[in-house]
């Protein structure tokens, strides 16, 4: 692959960042992942808006304008002949001798982007659904900032895999916050879509925002409120959303099948409608 590092496009084996980079030493960095279908970027303006917010919350310097960042995305797609997959983007506070105090103003951020290929849109998970476990949410209190502190979600996902399952939903004060790398939803027996309201306790998913719009267009009722694991286990359907998974059904929670244990019709409609709407606006 050709990757982008601080202004240059280089083969991945030649890409270099300092061992003193604060992204490495302090997870002092934010990121975005944008989906690519048919060579086009899905929800790009949303990802840029969230990046700006993450940067501002951590007082990280901007690595460039939205137009410049779009140009880098397009150049990477072209150089890697990528038509289906993702582009990962990361901004770190740059290189400085190890110190909890930030380096002086003017220290350039590190800016890295790379592509990841996706073989199929309709993956096994999308068709058959995910089996999730629940784990306590032990992350920090500002999950609305998309930082690269992903150790706990990674451990949680490994715990799910070690038990033969696909992913984990995290639980705080008795209610589900979100998945390890996705937002979590249920469909109640009366057909209402329920997902946690935005706050500091979850990431403000770009796919979530798109799904809310699509649900409105399909005249589906959405409630933004917390739900318990027991309510989820008694739901008619469950699903997750992310730039990586789009809308993916959840068919089992802690060993309990959801509905009839197969992906539900509302989830399937939302997935199709999301992909159609996102592709229509892709750039
Ligand atoms: N929640 C968490 C913790 C995530 O890591 C992600 C995506 O990486 C999401 C939700 C979904 O966000 P998006 O739809 O913007 O990909």
Ligand 1 center to 170 CA (angstroms):
13
Ligand 1 center to 128 CA (angstroms):
21
- Quote the CA–CA distance of 150 and 110 in Å, as a whole number: 19
What's residue 160's pLDDT?
A: 98
Q: Is the CB of 208 under 6 A from ligand 1?
A: yes
8 Å CB contact between 75 and 48: no
Stretch 151-158: mean pLDDT: 98
The model's pLDDT over 123-154, given as tens digits with 9 standing for 90+, comes to: 999 999 999 999 999 999 999 999 999 999 99
124-281, superfamily in CATH?
A: D-amino Acid Aminotransferase, subunit A, domain 2 (3.20.10.10)
Stretch 109-135: mean pLDDT: 96
Stretch 2-9: mean pLDDT: 98
The model's pLDDT over 181-230, given as tens digits with 9 standing for 90+, comes to: 999 999 999 999 999 999 999 999 999 999 999 999 999 999 999 999 99
Q: Is the CB of 34 under 6 A from ligand 1?
A: no
Backbone angles phi, psi at 106, to 5 degrees: 100, -10
Q: Is the CB of 203 under 6 A from ligand 1?
A: yes
What's residue 262's pLDDT?
A: 97
Ligand 1 center to 33 CA (angstroms):
9
Stretch 19-48: mean pLDDT: 98
The catalytic residues are 146
What's residue 25's pLDDT?
A: 98
The model's pLDDT over 221-261, given as tens digits with 9 standing for 90+, comes to: 999 999 999 999 999 999 999 999 999 999 999 999 999 99
Q: Is the CB of 177 under 6 A from ligand 1?
A: no
Tell the residue nearest (CA) to atom 4 of ligand 1: 181
Ligand 1 mutation pick, 46, 181, 210, 271, max ligand atoms within 8 A of CB: 181
Global model pTM greater than 0.90 = yes
Q: Are strands 167-172 and 130-136 parallel, antiparallel or unpaired?
A: parallel
- pLDDT-derived band at 88, boundaries 50, 70, 90: very high
What's residue 17's pLDDT?
A: 97
For the chain, the domains span 2-117, 124-281
The ipTM (two decimal places) reads 0.99
Stretch 97-108: mean pLDDT: 96
Q: Is the CB of 147 under 6 A from ligand 1?
A: no
What's residue 67's pLDDT?
A: 98
CATH class, domain 2-117, is: alpha beta
What is the rounded average pLDDT for all residues in the chain? 97
């Amino acid at each position: 692959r050709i990757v982008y590092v601080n202004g240059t496009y280089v083969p991945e084996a030649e890409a270099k960042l300092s061992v003193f980079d604060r992204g490495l030493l302090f997870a002092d960095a934010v990121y975005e992942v944008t989906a690519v279908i048919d060579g086009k970027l899905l929800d790009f303006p949303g990802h840029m808006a969230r990046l700006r917010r993450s940067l501002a919350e951590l007082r990280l310097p901007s690595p460039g304008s939205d137009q410049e960042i779009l140009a880098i995305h397009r150049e990477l797609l072209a150089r890697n002949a990528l038509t289906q997959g993702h582009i990962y983007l990361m901004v770190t506070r740059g290189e400085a001798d190890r110190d909890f105090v930030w380096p002086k103003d003017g220290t350039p951020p590190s800016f890295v982007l790379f592509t990841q290929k996706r073989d199929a849109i309709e993956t096994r998970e999308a068709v058959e659904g995910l089996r999730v476990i629940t784990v306590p949410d032990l992350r920090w209190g500002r999950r609305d900032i998309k930082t690269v502190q992903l150790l706990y979600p990674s451990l949680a996902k490994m715990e799910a895999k070690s038990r033969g399952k696909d992913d984990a939903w995290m639980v705080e004060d008795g209610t589900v916050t979100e998945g390890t790398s996705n937002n979590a939803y249920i469909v109640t027996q009366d057909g209402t879509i329920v997902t946690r309201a935005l706050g500091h306790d979850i990431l403000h998913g770009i796919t979530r925002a798109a799904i809310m719009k699509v649900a409105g267009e399909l005249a589906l009722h959405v409630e933004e409120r917390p739900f318990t694991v027991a309510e989820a286990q008694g739901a008619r359907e469950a699903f997750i959303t992310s730039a990586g998974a789009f809308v993916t059904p959840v068919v089992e929670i802690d060993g309990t099948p959801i509905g009839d244990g197969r992906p539900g019709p509302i989830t399937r409609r939302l997935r199709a409608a999301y992909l159609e709407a996102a592709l229509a606006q892709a750039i």
